[in-house]
Each structure stands twice: as C-alpha cells, then as structure tokens.
C-alpha cells in the first residue's frame, strides 16, 4: 500500500469543505481515477506539487499560459499594477489599451467589451444576438463547450436537429427549449435544419476548433459553410475563441481559416491567465450593449487592473516575430513523435493538432471529426496512458475529451523529455 501523500491529505480535507474537493469538476480526476496533484508553484513549462514532484505541464491552465508560467514580463506587469491597487470599479487607461490591442489583432472585432470569464462572454454574446435579430433559437454543436450558462447545458434530443434537453439538474426545460444541437462538422445537417426551421435562428455558436471533445479540427469548408448559411438566413455567427483566440494564430482561428464571424468570444489568454474574458464584433452590434444601447450587461471586476496589465504584457510577448512559427514547429514535433512511438508499438490512435493545440484518441477510427467518433476512444487505454505519463512527470489533461496545449517555454529539451517518457509508457500499453 502506497503511503499517503500531501496531495492525498489535501484532497481528503478539501472534500469536507468543497463539493467533490475541487472548484472545477475535471480537476477531481473522476474520468481517470486517482488523486489529483495539488500544485504549489509553476515556472515556464513545469509545475510543482505540494509533494515537490515536478511535472512538464501540457494543461497550461486549460490554454491561456501560452507564454509559460510566471513569465518575468507578465509577473512584473502584475506586480506594478497591484502596487497601484487591485480594483477601482472605475475606468482605467489599461482597459482602453487592451481593447485597442484586441481590435488590432482580431480581424472581425471592431468593438469589444471586457468581462470576467469565458462563460460570461458567451452568455453575453448570445443575449446580444437574440436582441439584435429578434429571434430566440440558438444552434450549437455536440461536444462543443461554451461555459456553464443554462442555455449551453443542453444535449441532443431524441433525433437529429431536435431541440436540446437539459444536461444538468437545475436547468429548466424552458431554458434549453430554444437550443438546437447538431453534430460538429456536419454542414448538410445545418443546411437541412435551416431549411425547415421557420421561426429563424438568432445565432450559431461554434468552437472553430473543438477543444472540449479532445482537439477536433474543422473539416475543410465547414466554417466557411456556416458563415454562408448564416448570412443567407440573417443569423449571427459566433466564434467561441475562448480556447483558440491568440492560441492557434495571432488573430485566432478566424485568421487561420479566413472566416469572419459576426461576434467573437475570448478567454483568459487576454489576461495572461488571470480571470478575464471578452466578447466583440461588428460595431453596429456592439453599440447595442449598455450603456450605448438597451442590451444590459455589467460587471464590477470587468477590465480589472491586474488582468489588463497581465493581458497587455502577454499580447506583447506573442506579437514578437517568430513566436507562432516556433510554437507550431515544436507542437508538430511533439505530436509527430508521439504518433510515431504509438505506431511502432501497434497502438491504434488518431493524433490531431491545430497550431499549439493537440489531441490524442485511442481509437480504431481513421479520423475523429465529431463527438460520436471521439466517443469511440478506448477510455481504459487512455487512463493507463494518462497515469503512466503522470508517473513519468508529464502532466496531461485528465480526460480523453480535453485538448492539450504547448507554451513557448516548451523547448526542444522539454519535448525530448516528453518523448522519452512516451516511449516508456507506450510499451506498457501493449500489455493486457
């Protein structure tokens, strides 16, 4: 029997005061089993737990730590901001600077509103879309996650293109009765739905690269097709770039794929990992937000001084020449190396990657392009892979259905160490 670790002790203690012992469900390791390591510090590409075990981190706070943990320029910016005060509940110059920077970098955004989280951004964008179109229905895609707002906690009904049903207790049926769900990457299903939905659809919201069923890239023409259908029917297209914004390209997935949405949501990457989010888009739409217009949305900590300081420092770092080229090359090398190792051990899998986001599915399928195909993955094999890599000092997302992320701090030595670990673990996966 293994001795109790400090993480074990903390987890037991936490369960007396925090539901499930964690403040966000995936941290509890329910999908993979075991006790989550409690992290005490991080630097660059590594995190350290309370038992002083060091890990190479491919979670990156679920994406925003693109510059690595505790980057000196970001730390300095936050320290200076904190010395002047944490929150004022009043406008600051840095809010304006961050808004201007986002507008300069993201192709579709003409005006932007800072909020406190990705969930708040998506909820607000949908409210604006409904107000602007005078319609109620929302179309989303199975396997995409847009935060824990009630309207998004819907799963597919009894048949294709039916209204959603609540996927969580506490969400009223009436709240999701205007939420429609379709398979991701199925443009024909979208066309069919619009052809028979007489009342009209206010918005289509989509992760342009799905990151919450693993990393699932859009099929060629899928995003472009969504934009065309939305324009034809007077429906607003919302790109949920909480994960992909400033991650897969400097201007997000919309720059990478050359598609212009009406509205865009962004997450913690614009705050260097601090609590922040944003939604923005066409000027005529954004001017409908209070106090310019009648669509109400507010927040005491929106655009707070710490997050804006960290965000400006982060966006300055990733705007340096060669940043994305280096990041993409390193992620390509990592993913190709892991795939080669698994192939040499005759382990069926699908490896996916867009920019510095990546996914790995232990499946006999040749491709993974939607949630049903992702769901064919061998969870038992993934769990063995996850725990094997964790024992080797590699911290991956503790779920088959979460993407992984690189930072600029993942240098060649870090990637070599990861591939060495993968070689050790892959051999164990061949043993029944």
CA angle (266, 270, 274) in 5-degree steps:
110
Token pair listed for 50: 């309370």
Which residue has 């199975």 as its token pair?
142
Reduce the DSSP state of residue 432 to 3 states and report it. Answer: coil
Which residue has 């600029």 as its token pair?
408
Among the listed residues 240, 257, 262, 324, the single catalytic one is 240
Which residue has 């995003």 as its token pair?
223
Helix (H) or strand (E) holding 165, with range, is strand 165-166
CA distance 357 to 431: 29
Token pair listed for 27: 């941290």
Token pair listed for 37: 């390591």
CA distance 327 to 140: 30
Beta strands at 154-155 and 165-166: parallel, antiparallel or unpaired = antiparallel
Instruction: Report the DSSP beta bridge partners of residue 266.
Output: 241, 278
- C-alpha distance from residue 362 to each of 18, 233, 352, 399 (Å): 33, 39, 12, 12
Among the listed residues 58, 145, 184, 279, the single catalytic one is 145
Neighbours of 291 (CB within 10 A): 7
3-state helix, strand, coil in the chain (%, to 5): 40, 15, 45
268 is catalytic: yes
240 is catalytic: yes
Fill in the DSSP letter of residue 28: G
Among the listed residues 58, 257, 268, 324, the single catalytic one is 268
Nearest to 55 by CA among 391, 325, 280: 391
CA angle (263, 265, 270) in 5-degree steps:
135
CA distance 26 to 33: 11
155 is catalytic: no
DSSP state letters, 264-287: EEE-GGGGTTSS-EEEEE-HHHHT
Neighbours of 417 (CB within 10 A): 16
Active site members: 145, 240, 268
């Amino acid at each position: 029997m293994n001795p109790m670790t400090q993480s074990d002790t903390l987890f037991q203690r936490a369960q007396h005061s925090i539901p499930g012992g964690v403040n966000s469900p995936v941290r509890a390791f329910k999908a993979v089993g075991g006790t989550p390591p409690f992290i005490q510090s991080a630097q660059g590409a590594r995190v350290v737990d309370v038992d002083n075990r060091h890990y190479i981190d491919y979670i990156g706070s679920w994406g925003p730590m693109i510059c690595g943990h505790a980057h000196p320029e970001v730390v300095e910016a936050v320290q200076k901001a904190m010395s002047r005060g944490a929150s004022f509940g009043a406008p600051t110059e840095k809010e304006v600077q961050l808004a201007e920077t986002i507008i300069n970098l993201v192709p579709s955004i003409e005006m932007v509103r800072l909020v406190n989280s990705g969930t708040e951004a998506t909820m607000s964008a949908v409210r604006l879309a409904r107000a602007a179109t005078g319609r109620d229905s929302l179309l989303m895609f199975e396997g995409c996650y847009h935060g824990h707002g009630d309207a998004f906690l819907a799963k597919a009904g009894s048949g294709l293109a039916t209204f959603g049903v609540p996927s969580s207790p506490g969400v009223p049926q009436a709240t999701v009765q205007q939420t429609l769900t379709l398979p991701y990457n199925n443009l024909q299903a979208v066309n069919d739905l619009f052809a028979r939905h007489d009342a009209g659809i206010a918005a289509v919201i989509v992760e342009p690269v799905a990151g919450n069923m693993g990393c699932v890239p859009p099929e060629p023409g899928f995003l472009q097709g969504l934009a065309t259908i939305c324009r034809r029917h007077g429906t607003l297209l919302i790109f949920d770039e909480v994960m992909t914004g400033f991650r897969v390209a400097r201007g997000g997935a919309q720059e990478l794929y050359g598609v212009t949405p009406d509205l865009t949501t962004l997450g913690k990457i614009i705050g260097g990992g601090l609590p922040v989010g944003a939604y923005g888009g066409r000027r005529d739409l954004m001017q409908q937000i209070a106090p310019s217009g009648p669509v109400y949305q507010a927040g005491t900590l929106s655009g707070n001084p710490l997050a804006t300081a960290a965000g400006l420092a982060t966006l300055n770092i990733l705007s340096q020449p060669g940043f994305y080229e280096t990041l993409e090359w390193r992620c390509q090398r990592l993913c190709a190396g892991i795939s080669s190792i698994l192939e040499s051990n005759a382990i069926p899998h699908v490896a996916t990657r867009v920019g510095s986001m990546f996914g790995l599915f232990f499946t006999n399928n040749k491709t993974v392009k939607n949630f049903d195909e992702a769901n064919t993955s061998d969870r038992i094999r993934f769990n063995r892979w996850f725990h094997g890599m964790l024992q080797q000092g590699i911290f991956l997302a503790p779920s088959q259905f979460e993407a992984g992320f690189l930072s600029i701090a993942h240098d060649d030595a870090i990637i070599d160490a990861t591939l060495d670990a993968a070689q050790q673990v892959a051999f164990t996966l061949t043993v029944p």
